[in-house]
Chains A and B, each alone.
Chain A
Amino acid sequence: MVLMPIAETPSRNHKTDSWRVQTPVVDYSKCIRCMICWKFCPDDAIEISKTGELASPNFRISKMEVPVINLDFCKGCGICAYECPEKCIDMTLTGGVTL
């Protein structure tokens, strides 16, 4: 028999939030729900959720699904903010991990 690198727990259990210095904050009042941030996130840390009480640019967009950043896995790389066509993601130092 051999040793295999297979863990009982899925990699979802390895949170990577402590790697983050900057934290993305989405201004939903400008977000057009294009999901480009979700597509580009290298860590699959952006989830698509049902729309809720979040702000939106207009009534039609308010009915659409929204990208929500899962801060358990966001490493703060800023790719979402860079790619966002509406520039509605701000990389902030607030909410980062303090050492």
Chain B
Amino acid sequence: MKSVTEQRLLVTGNEAAAIGVKLSNVRFISAYPITPQTTIVEKLAEMVSKGELKSRYVEVESEHSAMAAVYTAALAGSRSYTATSSHGLLYMHEMLHWTAGMRVPLVTSVVNRAIGPPWNVWADQSDSMNQKDTGWLQVYCESNQETLDTIIAGYKIAENRDVMLPLMSMEDAFVLSHTSEPVTVPNQSMVDEFLPEYKPEFVVDVNNPRGYGSYATPEGPFMELKYDMVSSMERAKSVIRDTLREYSDTFGREYSGLTENYMMDDADYAFITSGTLASTAKYVVNKLRKEGKKVGLIRIKFFRPFPQEEIREALKHVNAAGVIDRSVSFSAGGSLYSDVIASIYRKLDVPVSGFVAGIGGRDVRISDFEHMFSLVQDGTEGMQWIGLKEVD
């Protein structure tokens, strides 16, 4: 079903995120500016001041406070939102644990930017990869359209009573955040129907005081609460698949699930990556296919929960695969690489090469992908850094 009233706009990834927030009827926003995220919350502040979005917008002195504000607003029953990048996200780290541990289903946008030193504002997923163990669901978007759609679907996934975990939606800095693309904006009434009002089971109430995250001894229920988060993360997989199917049916855009397979059906070799590197990878897959090389791509859209089953299924018949990380995990290669290896351990005998590429916003060119393809074909082991230059 397609609505005749949906709009087609030329917008940046950050504007797309702000439109997604507006459509999701977010009632509380708090943020601290940081490049390249700033234009998201600037746009939202403008919408609030013009009365287009009926939301409270609270300015704070830091990202730590921003996350504290939105998570407590959500505890008080308001659908809430914040956005950040890089060092701002690192500064939120403690509150990320609180939000997930309190089972508050926020959606937060993260524009992936490098971590200093030295200062660098360009695309690099190290900031959000640093948060992979905080209990948040993580989505790496590939386009401005997906950025918008992920906010709306994200609230529905996070607020599902079987999930109740916050969700982080990523855009690569500048490649998406500041680059305009045509985006289809869904009709508000259809979004309202898809995403009902946020009604949490527990709401902070001064007349009925309870202990929120107050105290748990070694005897309990500390371990049980953490185990329940792990179980919810597992259950989130089917919720994600169902919700995205419903989203696709409602809004007419195809989202397959935790991963996107591109030309994988008969592939002998596979690239595995996330975010906008996947767009270049698709171009290279097409190019190599024309040269008669049977290569495909697995784009990891959800990094948390990690799509172990999808990866095992897609890699079943390939000869070799190469994982491209746009982040660094010092002395452990890349986070995507480690998790891909762990998910096939003793289940598939597929050689997997690991690559670190494009960090600090360095271009990953078609020729770089072709080079990585030849290394995958050769069964190169360990982590390779792509595009590294000689330094005097």
**Is residue B292 contacting chain A, with contact meaning CB distance below 8 A?**
no
Task: Indicate whether A1 sits within 8 Å of B162 (C-beta atoms), given known contacts A10-B209, A10-B210, A11-B211.
Answer: yes
Q: Chain B residues near A14 (CB, 8 Å)?
A: 211, 214-215
How many of B's residues come within 8 Å of A, CB to CB? 22
Q: Say yes or no: is A53 at the interface (Cβ < 8 Å to chain B).
A: no
Q: In the complex, which of the residues B164, B201, B211 contacts A13, with contact meaning CB atoms closer than 8 Å? A: B211
User: Interface of chain A, helix or strand or loop or mixed?
Assistant: loop
Q: How distant is A83 from chain B, measured CB to nearest CB, in Å? A: 22
Kindly state whether residue A99 has any CB partner on chain B within 8 Å: no
- Asked if B117 is at the interface (CB within 8 A of a chain A CB), the reply is no
Contact across chains for A3 and B210 when beta carbons are under 8 A apart: no
Residue on A with the closest CB to B202?
A: A6
One digit per residue, 1 when the CB lies within 8 angstroms of any chain A CB and 0 when it does not, for chain B 264-282 equals 0000000000000000000
A54 contacts chain B at the CB level, 8 A cutoff: no
Q: Give residues of chain A (1-45) contacting chain B, Cβ–Cβ below 8 Å.
A: 1-14
Q: Is the CB of A5 within 8 A of B103?
A: yes
Known contacts A10-B209, A10-B211; 18 additional CB pairs below 8 A are A1-B162, A2-B103, A2-B161, A2-B163, A3-B221, A4-B201, A5-B103, A5-B214, A6-B210, A6-B212, A7-B212, A9-B210, A9-B211, A10-B210, A10-B214, A11-B215, A12-B209, A13-B211
B-to-A contact residues, CB < 8 Å: 101-103, 161-164, 201-202, 209-216, 221, 224-225, 228, 232
Which 5 A-B pairs rank lowest in CB-CB distance, beginning with the nearest?
A7-B211, A10-B209, A3-B228, A11-B214, A11-B211
